[in-house]
Amino acid sequence: MLQLNDPSLLRTKAFVAGRWVDEPGRGEFPVFNPADETVIASVSDTGRQTVRVAIEAATVAMAEWKLRTAKDRANILRNWFDLILTNTEDLALLMTWEQGKPLAESRAEIRYAASFVEWFAEEGKRAYGDVIPAHATDLRLLTVKQPVGVVAAITPWNFPSAMITRKAAPALAAGCALVIKPAAETPLSALALAELAHRAGLPDGILNIVVGTDAIGMGEELSSHPQVRKLTFTGSTRVGKLLMAQCAGTVKKTSMELGGNAPFIVFDDADLPTAVAGVMASKFRNAGQTCISANRILVQEGIYSDFLQELTRVVKKLKLGDGRDPETDIGPLITGAALDNVDSLVRNALDCGARAMAGGQVSILGGGFYEPTVLADVTPDMKVFREEIFGPVAPVVQFSSEAEAIALANDTSAGLASYIYTQNISRILRTTEALDFGMVGVNESMISTEVAPFGGVKESGVGREGSRYGIDDYLEIKYVCIRGI
């Protein structure tokens, strides 16, 4: 059993209208430790009915919340930020337990999650409107920014805390109430955050967490209920498209942070150790289960074999293991299905002529462990080039010219993150403009921060999270035209 400093952070019921609740007749569902597949908790399996109750509670609570001053809301968010940081160790332990990532990464995610709360507490105070020069002397034209309404958030298991605060903090700062449905694989992190939000002074009904296994039914309810005015989702492109279609029925505003297929381009003039370190950080963070993870490593012919050799050497040193072991570099994949998917992509690449320089198979450790893998001589016809891998597999592709690299990089329906490594300033400017992606890291692969806009183009999504733009998705612009001044 997990020992927390504060055992009351381990919550196993849904949080609705300030109370911990079950849904009569629906029972509980197990939460597994992906490292050894043991059951670590049983959580109330709430469904559509609880979602409806939560939406009702949010609607009622928001009527008062939206009238408060931004400063008042900011003070409560600031308390939440402080409580998250004070409880970092427990929150990180809960995350590693249910998600599998190494404890150091969980601690980093908790700090990352808290950073959105601090940032948007302040940004809420700056949701300025405009005074517009009018087209007649007796008119005055104004805009005011107002909260969009009740927000539904559907969040993933790969970043169980940060993807909640990246959505909840701007929504709360803007004056909205939320109903959040975290992934059924990682409900404990979400529920612990709700407990801390409650302690921070957030009024009942403003932040509701519904937990359950009926993802389709709960998703349908959240995306079709007329009182929900905005849906924000982080997850697969397939589910995002479905939710967007469902939201069309009541014309909801949507933010979608969907799948990626990030190219990581290494030119001949790149600094080799920096480029290898960049791949290691991007590719193997969270065992590769990250939307902005380097998915296709495109390396120019002049540096190809040196790069491959160095990358292979470093990858072979990575230690797989339980995330609670301080020696562990890479934890397990989230489920057996995720493991099978990664393995089938690797099998397809090997069958089509790729070479495994490191790893290339399911680990003998069992559980969700996959060997950190480097694949050489990958080509665009292989599935591993076309699909989001979501595992610790680095496919390396050789190219000759800059034009070829850009064509290969843009040859995908995804457009989330991309990376280039080069010392040439002209090339940096040319290629960053030519890449059809929402984000470009130049000689840097750790691009996520609360102060910058995170989001994609093409089928990778709609909207931006974090930064000064992140609150806009939770605000409506109201235009006021005053005659007779």
> Which lies closer to ligand SIN via its Cβ, residue 18 or residue 453?
453
- DSSP for 155-175, written as a single string: --SSSTTHHHHHHHHHHHHHT
Give the strand pairing for 139-147 and 150-154: unpaired
Q: How far is the CB of 292 from ligand SIN (least distance, A)?
A: 5
> Which lies closer to ligand SIN via its Cβ, residue 208 or residue 293?
293
Catalytic member of 195, 221, 257, 388: 257
DSSP assignment, residue 65?
H
- Radius of gyration of the CA atoms of the chain, in A: 23
CA atoms of 86 and 108, how far apart (whole Å): 14
Q: How far is the CB of 463 from ligand SIN (least distance, A)?
A: 13
CA atoms of 159 and 156, how far apart (whole Å): 6
Q: What are 461's strand-pairing partners?
A: 257
Nearest residue to ligand SIN, by Cβ distance, number only: 448
> Which lies closer to ligand SIN via its Cβ, residue 14 or residue 330?
330
Q: Cβ–Cβ contacts within 10 Å for residue 130, how many?
A: 12
Amino acid at residue number 6: D
Q: Is 257 a catalytic site residue?
A: yes
Cβ within 8 Å of residue 136, ≥6 positions away: none
Q: How far is the CB of 158 from ligand SIN (least distance, A)?
A: 5
149: left (phi over 0), alpha (psi -120 to 50) or beta: left
Tokens of 454: 């995170």
DSSP assignment, residue 401?
S
CB 84 within 8 A of CB 178: no
Give the strand pairing for 28-33 and 19-21: unpaired
Q: How far is the CB of 134 from ligand SIN (least distance, A)?
A: 43
Tokens of 324: 């609670």
> Which lies closer to ligand SIN via its Cβ, residue 21 or residue 215?
215
Which H helix or E strand runs over 88? helix 88-99
Catalytic member of 105, 123, 176, 291: 291
Q: How far is the CB of 454 from ligand SIN (least distance, A)?
A: 6
> Could you list the residues that contact ligand SIN (CB under 6 A)?
158-159, 162, 234, 257, 290-292, 448, 454
Q: How far is the CB of 91 from ligand SIN (least distance, A)?
A: 17
28 alpha carbon, distance to own chain's centre:
26
DSSP assignment, residue 454?
B
> Which lies closer to ligand SIN via its Cβ, residue 159 or residue 304?
159
Q: How far is the CB of 147 from ligand SIN (least distance, A)?
A: 24
Q: Is 89 a catalytic site residue?
A: no
CA atoms of 387 and 237, how far apart (whole Å): 11
Could you tell me the CA-to-CA distances from 80 to 88, 192, 387, 415, 448 in Å, in that order?
A: 12, 12, 38, 33, 21
Catalytic residue IDs? 257, 291
